[in-house]
Structure 1
Amino acid sequence: MTDQRIEGAVTEAGGKVQNGFGRLTGDSKLQIDGKLNEVKGKAMDAYGRVIDGLDGMVDKAPADLRDPARKGLDFARRKPLLTTGIIAGAAVLLGALSRKR
């Protein structure tokens, strides 16, 4: 289990508590902050699940590709937002290139 999954579960649980207190006290800002933390926690958990899945795939990769793949996964673990941005940018570029054909 990756750190992102653990942190995501904690953030999501904290968000649920915030949201509950917000509903109990009638504090709409606290409710919104709680909902945002719930969503953030779910996103972090999903990212961690992807990293865990890729980690299993690296173990099955050919021996000469394992080290570079592990370095890439280590980068993704250390910098999740940057990794997500890189992947999103690549997807936008590929989408734009495919439309031109």
Structure 2
Amino acid sequence: MSDQRIEGAFDQVEGKVKKGLGELTGDTKLKVEGVAKEAGGRAKAAYGRVIDGLDGIADKAHPDIREPAKKGLDFARNKPLLTTGILAGAAILLGALGRKR
């Protein structure tokens, strides 16, 4: 289980607690912070599930590409925001290339 999944679970719980306290006390700011923290936790946990799934695929890969795949996954674990940005940029470029003019 990746660190992102664990951190995501903690963030979700923290968000739920803040949201509940905000609702209980009528503190809108606290409630909004809780909702945001919970959503961030869900996103972080989802990212961790993807990394864990890719790790399983890398374990089954051909020996020639197994080590580079593991290095790429280590990079993705250590720099999740940068990895997400790189993938989003690549998706935008590929989408633009696929459009008919």
TM-score class, shorter? over 0.9
- In structure 2, runs of 5+ residues without a counterpart are none
Alignment-mate amino acid for residue 97 of structure 1: L
Alignment-mate amino acid for residue 22 of structure 1: G
Q: Residue deviations 1:6-53, cap 9 Å, x none?
A: 000000100000000000000000000000000000000000000000
The 2-side partners of 1:32 and 1:89 are apart by 30
Secondary structure in 1 matching 2:58: helix
- In structure 1, runs of 5+ residues without a counterpart are none
Secondary structure in 1 matching 2:35: helix
Please name the residue that 2:40 is paired with.
40
Query: Runs of 4 or more off by more than 4 Å in structure 1?
Result: none
Percentage of pairs with the same residue? 67
In the TM superposition, 1:67-86 aligns within 5 A as 67-86=67-86
- With structure 2 as the length reference, what TM-score do the two structures score? 0.98
The CA RMSD measured in Å over matched residues stands at 0.8
Please name the residue that 2:30 is paired with.
30
Cα deviation for residue 100 of structure 1 reads 3.7
